[in-house]
Homo-oligomer: A and B are copies of this chain.
Amino acid sequence: MNNTLKVGDKASLTKAFSEEEVFRFAEISTDKNPLHLDKDFGRASIFGRRIVHGMLVASLFSGLIGMELPGEGSIYLGQSLSFKAPVAIGEPVTASVEIIHVRDDKPIVTLRTMCTNSEGTVVIDGEAVVKVKK
């Protein structure tokens, strides 16, 4: 396995999802929930505005894992997600992944996956389990 990976290794990225990206994701994923697409529906919701699909925000973890840490050749085995706060369209969020466990017996690592908004509020929390390229 990749012996250079160790507990505490981190990667992160910041992104804001545009209205156009939310609409395109709704088309691809079939998730056309009006909470994401309809201004009036969003305004009348408990969030007071349209919000970005939670699974789209969570996809930032997938990108970090597949491209940065552990990076190319990683196989995604599992992901838990706790959606803690809404993300508004156009609001920058920072997704981060951090290795919290490296197995001795198999090339498998666990990462804490967290996404925060610009105020530091955690919007998504969870863990990923990833098989690492040998």
Contacts and interface: CB of A to CB of B under 8 A. Distances in A.
A92 interface: no
Interface string A2-31: 000000000001010100010011001111
* Chain A interface, DSSP helix/strand/loop, else mixed: mixed
Give the size range of A's interface with the partner.
Answer: 35 or more
A82 B75 contact: no
Contact of A25 (B25, B30, B83): B25
A79 interface: yes
Contacts of A72: 33-34
Interface of A: 13, 15, 17, 21, 24-25, 28-35, 45-46, 53-56, 58-63, 66-67, 72-83
